[in-house]
Amino acid sequence: ARLAGVTGAADYAALADTDLVIEAVFEELSVKRQVFEQLGRVCRPDAVLATNTSYLDPRSIAEGLPNPGRFIGLHFFSPANVMKLLEIVPTPGTGDATVATGFALARMLGKVPVRAGICEGFIGNRILKRYRAEAEALVGQGVAIAAVDCAMRAYGFAMGPFEAQDLGGLDIAFLQREGARAAGQDVPETLSDILVRAGRKGQKTSGGWYDYKPGDRRPVPSEEVARLLGARIEPGPALDAQAIADRLVGAMAREGKAILEEGIAETASDIDLVEIHGYGFPRWRGGPMFGTRSTST
């Protein structure tokens, strides 16, 4: 019955009587603006128009859109049919009815909605960026890639940060960093940049942080990665699994504290909801902010 209600079209005119449209094209501002230029022409004036952007500023995407009060960010998490989180990102011009519609949609879809302010990455991806940077910093200090992943699995994650990047593709964040560099921002080269430039984008290229044999998703420590990154690694003190987890979760909590102070998240518990339902943070640990809530009010 659900499939029978799904239709496809290649003409924007098919959206003329649609109540709500969610744009989900790739993260290129000019392309997204072209989409909303078309939507602004063909959709009803009261139709809610939403972007699924994960990094771009929604205000820039909606620039010039007729009736901007109906525009909102609705950031679904991948895979969207599994992950419960829906970040709801209003712009300063978004109307109250549009925000309420976003929350109502989340309820209809069985999602966990969290309101987020506007910044690069909103709540979830901003913390993810810091989490990955701290993981790379550990590798730069001589901690083995596999040891970092093992420590985070022991902490309660289904996958460690490097395994997760290989699954999703290292090129996604790489392209975001390259876009920022092209825009004139000073973005230091990361270890993963070195791997992507060497053609290692993750499982889809049979090599990212790990090597993968054809038809086998099990990660194998890579001699090529050790060679590529060797000049950037300075051996430091040995760390056990608990110390590694403490470093990474601590980095998440510090970024969460900054997000709270800037008003990007309304409460510490909202940040925990984002991490648990969007990023697989072990639910039974409460979230990265759980132990700091009493001091964050």
Angle at 215 between CA 211 and CA 217, to 5 degrees: 50
**220-221 and 210-211: which strand pairing?**
antiparallel
Catalytic member of 70, 75, 130, 200: 75
Q: Give every CB contact of residue 251 below 8 A, 6+ residues apart in sequence.
A: 130, 131, 133, 134
Using DSSP's 3-state secondary structure scheme, residue 86 falls into strand
User: How is residue 47 written in tokens?
Assistant: 């139709």
Helix, strand, coil proportions of the chain in percent (round to 5)? 50, 10, 40
Closest by CA position to 190, among listed 159, 161, 222: 161
Q: Which residue pairs from 182-187 have beta carbons closer than 8 angstroms and sit at least 24 positions apart in sequence?
A: none
Active site residue 75: yes
Distance from C-alpha of 192 to C-alpha of 203, rounded to nearest angstrom: 14
Distance from C-alpha of 264 to C-alpha of 127, rounded to nearest angstrom: 12
Q: What is the DSSP letter of 289?
A: T
140 and 232 Cβ atoms separated by less than 8 Å: yes
Residues catalogued as catalytic = 75
